[in-house]
Amino acid sequence: MARTPTGRIDFLDYMRVFAFASVLIGHLFYQDLLVASVDPSLHVAFRQLARALYDICYAGASGVIVFFLVSGYIITHVIRAETATDFIIRRIFRIYPLFIVAVFLEIAAARYVGVPFPALTEVLPKLLLLGDFFGTPYSLGGVEWTLRVEILFYIFMVALKSTGILSLTRSLPFIFVALSGLLAVLAPFPGWAGWTNGYFNMFFPFLLIGVLFYLSEHGLAGKVTCMLAGTAILGISLLQIPTLKPMLADSNFEILALALFGGAWLFRHQIKGNWITANLSELTYSVYLIHLWLWPYLEYAVNKFGVSFLPNRLQRLVFLFIVCLVLAKTVEKYGVKLGRAVSKKAISFNLTKPMNNAP
Which pLDDT score is estimated for 131? 76
Average pLDDT over the chain reads 90
CB crowding 168-184: b at 16 or more within 10 Å, else e: ebeebbeebbebbeebb
DSSP β-bridge partners for residue 3: 9
Which pLDDT score is estimated for 199? 87
Three-state DSSP class for residue 295: helix
Domains of the chain, residue spans: 10-339
Count Cβ atoms within 10 A of the Cβ of residue 161 and give its class: 0-12 exposed, 13-18 middle, 19 or more buried: middle
Separation in Å, CA 36 to CA 3, 43, 245, 251: 40, 10, 26, 19
Q: What is the pLDDT of residues 46-58, one digit of tens each?
A: 999 999 888 889 8
Which pLDDT score is estimated for 167? 95
CA-based nearest residue to 160, from 144, 176, 148 = 176
Residue 6 predicted with pLDDT over 70: no
CA within 13 Å, CB half, 170? 0
Residue 80 predicted with pLDDT over 80: yes
Q: Supply φ then ψ for residue 310, to 5 degrees.
A: -120, 145
Confidence of residue 355 (pLDDT cuts 50, 70, 90): very low
Q: What is the pLDDT of residues 11-70, one digit of tens each?
A: 999 999 999 999 999 999 988 999 999 999 999 999 999 998 888 898 889 999 999 999
CA dist., res. 162 & res. 298, Å (int)? 46
Q: What is the dihedral of CA 259, 264, 267, 271, to 10 degrees?
A: 160
DSSP per residue, 131-161: HHHHTPPP-GGGTTHHHHHHHHHHHHHHHHH
Which pLDDT score is estimated for 189? 83
CA dist., res. 231 & res. 235, Å (int)? 6
Q: What is the mean pLDDT of residues 254-266?
A: 96
44 near 123, Cβ under 8 Å? Answer: no
Q: What is the mean pLDDT of residues 149-156?
A: 94
For the chain, first and last CA: distance in Å?
A: 46
Q: What is the pLDDT of residues 320-345, one digit of tens each?
A: 999 999 999 999 999 999 999 999 88
Which pLDDT score is estimated for 243? 86
DSSP conformational letter for 351: H
Q: What is the mean pLDDT of residues 195-220?
A: 92
Which pLDDT score is estimated for 236? 95
Q: What is the mean pLDDT of residues 263-287?
A: 94
Which pLDDT score is estimated for 144? 87
Q: What is the mean pLDDT of residues 112-141?
A: 85
* pTM of the predicted protein model: 0.92
Q: What is the mean pLDDT of residues 62-91?
A: 94
Q: What is the mean pLDDT of residues 179-190?
A: 91
